[in-house]
Amino acid sequence: MVVRKGAKKNVPNGPTGFGHSFEDHFTTSLEPTADTYHRVIRYRFGYLNLVIRHEVDAYCDSSDRTLKETFHGIDTPDSPQATIQHPILHSIATPVIPRGTRIPQYQTAELKTSSKQGAIRQCWFGRTPNLCIAKHKNGLITCADMKDIWGECVEYEKAQQQNLRRLAGLLGQIREVIKGIGSGRGCL
């Protein structure tokens, strides 16, 4: 697995656990100077075209064909060793500096040191199909289990249709408000 490295810049807003220690000790960095690894993905959400930026904890070096076929719509190389070779368009206001390695979406993973409570929802929104849950005793990791949880994410989506439709409607209303402001551009 590979993860971002460096000083943690976020301040916890509640009780802290052993998650960052788990990430630091059980993963290896592709980019030693990187503080975090963020991914930007785009997908249809109701009638909206969403662009989501989220942090990815790790990737698992898997060649699971089923996951590969599920995520075939995301433009990623087959090999995690492949480098970024496509042209990147950017503006002066937002410079893009290509670095590192492109990781296929089907290999991204969320790491947790407690239960998967809330993780399925998080993985669904970020389209993260793998979840590693580590069990510990007083901070000492006793076992870690990596699972393909995309099937559970699909079940979450089916069970939450009414709530997801409401969320799409709310996001659509926010979009209309932003369109009415001056330049019609905004970010939420």
In the prediction, which pLDDT does 6 show? 46
* 168 belongs to a structural domain: no
Segment 104-116, tens digit of pLDDT: 889 999 998 877 7
Percent of the chain clearing pLDDT 70 (strictly above)? 61
In the prediction, which pLDDT does 140 show? 74
* 9 belongs to a structural domain: no
Segment 27-73, tens digit of pLDDT: 777 766 666 778 888 899 999 988 888 888 888 876 554 544 544 44
The secondary structure of the chain as a DSSP string is -B---S------SS---SHHHHHHHH-B-SSTT-S--EEEEEEEETTEEEEEEEE--EE-----HHHHHHTTTS---SSTTPBP-S-----SSS-----SB---GGGEEEEESS--TTHHHHHHHHT--EEEEEEEETTEEEEEEEEE-HHHHHHHHHHTHHHHHHHHHHHHHHHHHHHTSTTS----
* 98 belongs to a structural domain: yes
Look up the pTM and report it: 0.70
pLDDT at 139 over 70: yes
What value does the mean pLDDT of the chain take?
A: 74
pLDDT at 157 over 90: yes
How many angstroms separate the CA atoms of 144 and 134, rounded? 4
Question: 83 vs 54, which has greater pLDDT?
Answer: 54
Range of the domain at 46: 19-157
Percent of the chain clearing pLDDT 90 (strictly above)? 24
In the prediction, which pLDDT does 149 show? 94
Domain count of the fold of the chain: 1
* 1 belongs to a structural domain: no
pLDDT at 120 over 90: yes
In the prediction, which pLDDT does 3 show? 40
